[in-house]
Structure 1
Amino acid sequence: MLHLLLPLLLLISNVGPSQSAIVESLPGFPGELPFKLETGYVGVGELEEVQLFYYFIESERSPKDDPLLLWLTGGPGCSSLSGLIYEIGPMQFDFSSSSGTKPILKYNPYSWTKVANIIFLDAPVGTGFSYATTSTAYNISDTSSAAQTYEFLRKWLVSHPSFLANPLYVTGDSYSGVVIPIIVKNIQDGIEAGRQPQMNLVGYTMGNPVTCDKKDVSFRIPYANKMALVSDELYETTKIDCNGDFQNVDPTNGACLTDLEMVSLCLEKIYLQHILEPSCNVVSPNHTRLKWSRSILEEDTVDIVSVPQQSRPWCRSANYIYSYIWANDEKVREALGVREGTKQEWNRCNFTLSYTKDVLDAVVYHEYLSEKTLRALVYSGDHDISIPYMSTLDWIRSLNLTLKGSWSPWFVEGQIAGYSILYSKNSKYDLTYTTIKGAGHTAPEYKPKQCLAMADRWFSYYPL
């Protein structure tokens, strides 16, 4: 096959030199890595001004037969290393053995690499170790980032032809819910146009996905009511006084503003990503916004490394400190093949990107994809209030798909792991929606065993 791809390789190859290497050991991980890790850069754009960094981990089961996943972490601007270490990758921090200056890594027994090959991509440019060679190339948007990711995938597959036949899925969570359907559309359009290389696109998965910022945030109040965080009386009054619109509030509507202030008092100490965990905001409240509508990852807008670790209460954000220390260590960067001279400091989430959100509602892309022969898995940690499951179910129902099964529980080790429902359209497209019981915004971070079972069953075409 390789000789057939050589002309294509020349056609879409990097103008600048590409870089990839097999990583056999990493600082903080004892001994050799028990999985195959490759890291590298792929240049995209007309003059390769954008250099996208990736981590590729082969399936620990059968690299030849298992699906190939492209994984994008949200943000926009959150590094895929966060998804790798804290969610679905084969290594994680050993908190009991780590110190403030020496993070220790250990093997994650619930890694999705047990059932799939995964490319963890730092996208868009400016995320993680991805960088641009010109200042203008840092200007990015939903659609241009999706186009660059599509170009990355084409080039990566040309240089890794043994994975062209593997079932391909585009996957991720949080804000990647906006760009994933755009990328899938780009791939689908390329397949139909005969663009090379021909990808074996099968579907996509999204966890607690952002779809439409305004609608997603609006559903926080009805979700809070369902979870007994806002009383029935206050919810009904607010709904009436605000005419059911909690986002576009008339500044002269005093009754609505009063109601929303009372809602704010109910929710201001709630951790948006998991309502049962402590809220540990380390920034002053921004009084120009309603507290209940603050951004999903607001607590990450400060330099978390400089924040002293508190013994009471435990805060999830403390778990992230080790990633800053580890990823900015020169020995780690050398082992990962991070290019010298890219003095960019690694941040788990870079919120200083020059990023334009030019897709305000991604549902139109799902409407397009629902006409194709594709599979989709959408899942929600049901204790996430930042992107409530109710909001996700609402846009799924707007697709007017055919209901193929009732809302029902699924189990892991005899315990309910969540509730799922199956939709289809024209016997070609099917969409599985499921909750992950007790999980937060990035579900595998909270419920790794259950999420691995979900992934294994769904990729294998088994019922959850």
Structure 2
Amino acid sequence: MVVNKMNWIGLPALLLLLLFNTGTSQSIIKTLPGYSGTLPFKLETGYIGVGENDEVQLFYYFVESENNPKTDPLIFWISGGPGCSGLSTLVYETVCFCTGPFYYDVADFDGSLPSILPNPYSWTKLYGFQVASIIFIDSPVGTGFSYANTSKGYSSSDKKSAKDNYTFLRKWLLNHPMLSKNRLYVAGESYGGKLVPMVAMEILLGNEAGLRPRMSLQGYIIGNGLTDPNIDYNERIPIAHRLALISDEYFELAKVSCGGKYDNPDPNNVQCLLALQPIKESQNYESCYVWANDLTVQEALRIRKGTIGEWMRCNRSISYEVNQKSVLHYHEIFSNKGYNVLIYNGDHDLLIPYMGPLKWIRNLSMTIDDDWRPWHVNGQVAGYTMKHKKNEFNLTFVTVKGAGHTPPEYKPKECLAMIHRWLSTRLL
């Protein structure tokens, strides 16, 4: 049996697997409370230890493609926050984030355990055509069901989280050698979009250093992602004006008084502060909880008893240092290499507006390969798109019409069509 395994994954990979195997567990989940019968998809959960002594135990959910998982793409999904659980993306209330295979039926929710239903717009299944297998991770430590064995282990940061995610992915692929050569994409939304290029860079550097397993990184996917606060946050007032949430008079006064700089304005610029005040007062920036905290659910998911207290969709109390303010230079580095990138934004998002990416994408000095135009789903305009190119690097920018901060939550059918076409290397 050992000989067969060595022939299968190779002696070097086997030695790495034995070296990295501490703190790792995985289980196939066939049933879940709230769902009637056996799950119609393959769901795996587990822990993988990272850190010097595996003191950090990162929890994950893996949903396998139902078509051909040996050849379909593999997506490694990083949620936002920082501190929002992968369960947020896997499934969340009546309208799911739509990448996962099921959603909660809370139409008649009375506080008891809600039912869960198959999601027809899952990114792992499109009416018989597969999109990808997806790993959803609870990261950084303290998020969702992830925990640490030491108090020091609970401290994290942008840079540490990126390295921990890379270590996690290395170990996970060593435990799943049949997927180690699949086309790999790092993906995420919101604050996760900041970590996506950082994790992709760790993979790139690891591949260049000859670390095993070598990952078949194809590119990355970012939805309404934070890239540079000075660019992204500064577009909140212009987008509010475009959406008719503030008047022309308020906007013109702010533009003149603040010189176009609305985020963290000069505290000595009294005119700017006065102009921004009525605008801020007029804006309003925008269950899973019961299900995830149910002990039978946690037992079904193979959660280790006593490792966390109350499960929270987004844990705002994690010990986390923001030590990478902007990730624009990561995009600049990748733009000089042969990767494929998808940047999508809901055109009604006030938190990280679509106008931010339009600005920082221009800094990458690419040529326009497919100019600004509408894209359609079922004959209806689903948004607008344009494609940029630099040598072998391709970046597709997409807006999702009528969508807010997490587009698949608002427009599941359109977002599924978007990711399907992009992964199939088709124009939107």
Fold match by TM threshold 0.5: yes
- State the match for 1:361 in structure 2: 326
- State the match for 1:13 in structure 2: 21
Q: Deviations over 1:178-215 (max 9, x none)?
A: 11100000101111111110111101101000112233
- State the match for 1:44 in structure 2: 50
- Aligned equivalents of 2:110, 2:116: Cα separation in 1: 11
More divergent stretch after superposition (242-251 vs 358-367): 242-251
- State the match for 1:333 in structure 2: 298
TM-score (norm 2): 0.94
Structure 1 segment 51-450 matched on structure 2, within 5 A: 51-85=57-91, 86-87=96-97, 88-114=99-125, 115-267=131-283, 270=284, 272-273=285-286, 322-426=287-391, 428-450=392-414
SS at match of 1:111: coil
Q: Percent identity?
A: 51
1:266 is displaced (CA, Å) by: 2.8
**Which residue type is aligned with residue 384 of structure 2?**
Y
- State the match for 1:288 in structure 2: none
Segments of structure 2 that go 5 or more residues without pairing to the other structure are: 1-7, 126-130
Segments of structure 1 that go 5 or more residues without pairing to the other structure are: 274-321
SS at match of 2:317: coil
Q: After the TM superposition, which segments of 4 or more aligned residues of structure 1 sit over 3 Å from their partners?
A: none
Q: Deviations over 1:214-256 (max 9, x none)?
A: 3322110111111122222321221111122212323332221
The aligned length equals 410
**Which residue type is aligned with residue 112 of structure 1?**
W
Contact 2:145/2:308 (<8 A) preserved:
no
- State the match for 2:128 in structure 1: none
- State the match for 1:462 in structure 2: 426
Q: Deviations over 1:322-369 (max 9, x none)?
A: 111000111000000000121332100000011000111110111111
**Which residue type is aligned with residue 356 of structure 1?**
E
- Aligned equivalents of 1:413, 1:420: Cα separation in 2: 17
**Which residue type is aligned with residue 43 of structure 1?**
G
TM-score (norm 1): 0.86
1:447 is displaced (CA, Å) by: 0.5
1:67 is displaced (CA, Å) by: 0.3
Contact 2:231/2:360 (<8 A) preserved:
no
Contact 1:409/1:417 (<8 A) preserved:
yes
**Which residue type is aligned with residue 75 of structure 1?**
G
- The alignment yields a C-alpha RMSD, in angstroms, of 1.2
- Aligned equivalents of 1:330, 1:161: Cα separation in 2: 33
- Aligned equivalents of 1:440, 1:90: Cα separation in 2: 21
Contact 1:97/1:104 (<8 A) preserved:
no
1:97 is displaced (CA, Å) by: 4.6
- Aligned equivalents of 2:419, 2:150: Cα separation in 1: 39
1:258 is displaced (CA, Å) by: 1.4
**Which residue type is aligned with residue 434 of structure 1?**
V
- Aligned equivalents of 2:305, 2:281: Cα separation in 1: 49
- Aligned equivalents of 1:98, 1:23: Cα separation in 2: 25
Contact 2:48/2:58 (<8 A) preserved:
yes
Residue 26 in 1 paired to residue 32 in 2?
Answer: yes
- Aligned equivalents of 1:6, 1:224: Cα separation in 2: 55
1:2 is displaced (CA, Å) by: 2.1
Contact 2:186/2:221 (<8 A) preserved:
yes
1:177 is displaced (CA, Å) by: 1.1
**Which residue type is aligned with residue 346 of structure 1?**
W
